[in-house]
Amino acid sequence: MSNESKITKAEKEKYIIQFKNVTQRYPNGTKALKNVNLNIEKGEFVFIVGASGAGKSTLVKLLMREEKICGGELRVNGFDLKRMSSFRVPILRRTVGVVFQDYRLLPKLTAYENIAFAMHMIGEPKSEIDKRVKAFLRLVNLDDKANSFPHELSGGEQQRVALARAVINKPAIILADEPTGNIDPMMSVEMMELLCKFNKWGTTVVVVTHDKNLVDYYSKRVVTINNGKITSDKQGGMFDED
């Protein structure tokens, strides 16, 4: 490997997420990412946009270590994702709160239990769980839905349960995959306002989306992927449809 593709110590200190010359190929030969370089600093808010098939999901899967990186270097919150062993993956995932497009709530658990579950998993004491889950339910405006099951909630409400669950263990990074994909515009605004609130409190937020209105309205950093390559990266950018 050339020195050029190595991540330096200064870069490690500066960036919470760093893709360096990342190339990702699926077993059938499809190159989903081609020489991607992307640096995200702690506390940034970044939109990642691009057409269907551009490589956005692949990027998310790499960040979560759902796929193992093929070529290049990737560091997330101090973890070297190329070299880390599988048993450390849960530790990485604890530092990245993910909001999935399809929510992925546990259907047989209530809103309260879905959120509490994430804290049980890391062995938090019951009293702390109850206190924090109630506070987060209030934060996402769902205190009156604590005992509702996912099928009793609207799309926007399920999305907010998913957000509360993603942030309950105070991750350094929130990764939201199409957070407004299945919800109406009013709910999209509420979801975005919550993401902005967590960002103001210091959490790095990465939102993958194809929602042009959202991206143009919020005027944040916009990284565009096209056919596996980053084709633009602008502060206060607009959704580039070309």
Q: Which is nearer to ligand ADP, 32 or 140 (CB)?
A: 32
Helix (H, G, I), strand (E, B) or coil at 173: strand
State in angstroms the smallest separation of the CB of 96 from ligand ADP. Answer: 17
Q: Which is nearer to ligand ADP, 54 or 174 (CB)?
A: 54
- Buried b / exposed e over 43-53, threshold 16 CB at 10 Å, is ebbbbbbbeee
CB 16 within 8 A of CB 76: yes
Q: What is the SS3 string spanning 48-82?
A: EECCCCCCHHHHHHHHCCCCCCCEEEEEECCEECC
- Give the binding-site size for ligand ADP (rule: CB under 6 A): 12
Helix (H, G, I), strand (E, B) or coil at 157: helix
Q: Does position 97 bind ligand ADP by CB under 6 A?
A: no
State in angstroms the smallest separation of the CB of 234 from ligand ADP. Answer: 19
State in angstroms the smallest separation of the CB of 68 from ligand ADP. Answer: 13
Among candidates 164, 176, 177, which has minimal Cα distance to 117? Answer: 164
State in angstroms the smallest separation of the CB of 49 from ligand ADP. Answer: 9
Q: Does position 30 bind ligand ADP by CB under 6 A?
A: yes
Q: Does position 209 bind ligand ADP by CB under 6 A?
A: no
Q: Which is nearer to ligand ADP, 58 or 199 (CB)?
A: 58
Q: Does position 32 bind ligand ADP by CB under 6 A?
A: yes
Q: Which is nearer to ligand ADP, 31 or 93 (CB)?
A: 31
Binding track, positions 45-84, relative to ligand ADP; x by CB under 6 A: -----x-xxxxxxx--------------------------
Rounded to whole angstroms, the Cα distance separating 17 from 137 reads 29
State in angstroms the smallest separation of the CB of 179 from ligand ADP. Answer: 14
Whole-number CA gyration radius for the chain: 18
Give φ, ψ of 127 to 5 degrees: -65, -40
Q: Let me know the angle formed at the C-alpha of 128 by 125 and 133, rounded to the nearest 5 degrees.
A: 120
Q: Which is nearer to ligand ADP, 32 or 116 (CB)?
A: 32
Among candidates 149, 126, 139, which has minimal Cα distance to 170? Answer: 139
State in angstroms the smallest separation of the CB of 101 from ligand ADP. Answer: 10
Sites of contact with ligand ADP (CB under 6 A): 26, 28, 30, 32, 50, 52-58
